[in-house]
Amino acid sequence: MGILSQPAIPPLPDSLSFAGKTAIVTGANIGLGLAAALHLAQRNISTLILAVRNPKSGQTTKDALLADPIVQKRATKPTILVFPLDLSLPSSVEAFASRVIAEVPKLHIVILNAGMGDLNWKVNPETQTEAHFQVNFLSNAVLTVRLLPLLKASAQNAGEASHLTIVGSRMIALSSFLKNPIPDAVPVFTFFNDRAQFRSMTRYGDSKVLVTMWIRQLGKHIDPSMVVVNNVCPGMVKTNLEAGQPWIIRAVMSVVKGIRGRTAEVGARTLINAAIAGPETHGEMLADYEIYPYNFLKTNEGKKMETKVWEESLAAFESSSPGSVQAAGLRD
């Protein structure tokens, strides 16, 4: 494919149905999340949970999904629930996870789509952790740990694997770690939350490296017959990911996306494909519909960083939510 085009993404199978299943989509009120939610609603999902920062916006999205002509033709309309979730706030993440566990009897699909791309140093007001680190990685990892027991129980009851997918990015190929790996003596959490280490042009890709490493480690600790875990890059999509960036970058990206960007509907096909993919994708990153080889993970520096990401994350989760790591089956 040339620089001005992307590979064609085939339509989802006509036979695809999510009847009897419950799914969560984060960031479900705009862009890729909204398009993924619509795909699910059109394909017989029984219960769909829209995880959004603004419940009012979520209600508007719910009304729009139910009014969709294809959804309207369904013999049985989906149950659509709106749950507030702000990935920048650990308290919101914990409240969301606790509500799902308390109120949702079964869960088969989780698409963790919400994320951010910004060029400025920002910290969340609760823990002072850097925003990309918190939103793109840490909060999604927390949700993984908290929701895994429900995903596993649902798989056992259904007799087939549940699925958890995090949206990643091929921007990992431009990560700063390729030329400047984190020193062995420096914890990954410390590095990401040190303003002196913040590089605006690579921070988005760097945060997605953590996602890729987290998924790889999950793949080593979770039985794919119970839960298939993967992450997926949907390619360049016409969304507002650059909304928080300077106007000149937004202008340039608007032109580039106008030429080669996919619609949200097409990009969301890759999310749905990942959420139905087989065990061959377990622990892997998908680029469109194909497994993406990321060579940094094969280097000594990449392997050491991946181990640190895993161990530091589990320690942080066990400290903030005692027993959660063991309940997820991630530690003996």
| pLDDT value, residue 326 | 95
Euclidean distance between CA atoms 11 and 24, whole angstroms: 22
Angle (CA) 79-41-9 rounded to 5° is 160
**H/E run at residue 317:** helix 300-320
Per-residue model confidence as pLDDT tens digits over 286-307: 999 999 999 999 999 999 999 9
The partner residues of 109 in beta bridges, in order of sequence, read 23, 163
Token reading at 18: 């999510």
Give the model's confidence band at 247: pLDDT under 50 very low, under 70 low, under 90 confident, else very high: very low
Per-residue model confidence as pLDDT tens digits over 191-210: 999 999 999 989 999 999 99
Residue count of the chain, please give it: 332
Which residue type, as a one-letter code, is found at position 4?
A: L
Q: How far is CA 237 from the centre of its chain?
A: 15
Euclidean distance between CA atoms 39 and 270, whole angstroms: 11
Per-residue model confidence as pLDDT tens digits over 263-273: 899 999 999 99
Q: How far is CA 265 from the centre of its chain?
A: 17
The radius of gyration of the chain's CA atoms, rounded to the nearest angstrom, is 19
Asked if 125 contacts 93 with a C-beta cutoff of 8 angstroms, the reply is no
Q: Inform me whether the pLDDT recorded for 253 exceeds 80.
A: no
Give the model's confidence band at 6: pLDDT under 50 very low, under 70 low, under 90 confident, else very high: confident
The strand pair at 47-52 and 79-84 is best described as parallel
The residue with tokens 């650059």 is 242
Per-residue model confidence as pLDDT tens digits over 14-39: 999 999 999 999 999 999 999 999 99
Asked if 231 contacts 165 with a C-beta cutoff of 8 angstroms, the reply is yes
Euclidean distance between CA atoms 89 and 95, whole angstroms: 10
> Which residues does the annotation mark as catalytic?
204, 208
Could you tell me where the beta strands, DSSP code E, fall in 104-193?
109-112, 162-167
Provide the mean pLDDT of the chain: 92
Percentage of residues in the chain with pLDDT exceeding 90? Answer: 84
Average pLDDT over residues 217-241: 90
Q: How far is CA 149 from the centre of its chain?
A: 18
Q: Inform me whether the pLDDT recorded for 239 exceeds 70.
A: no
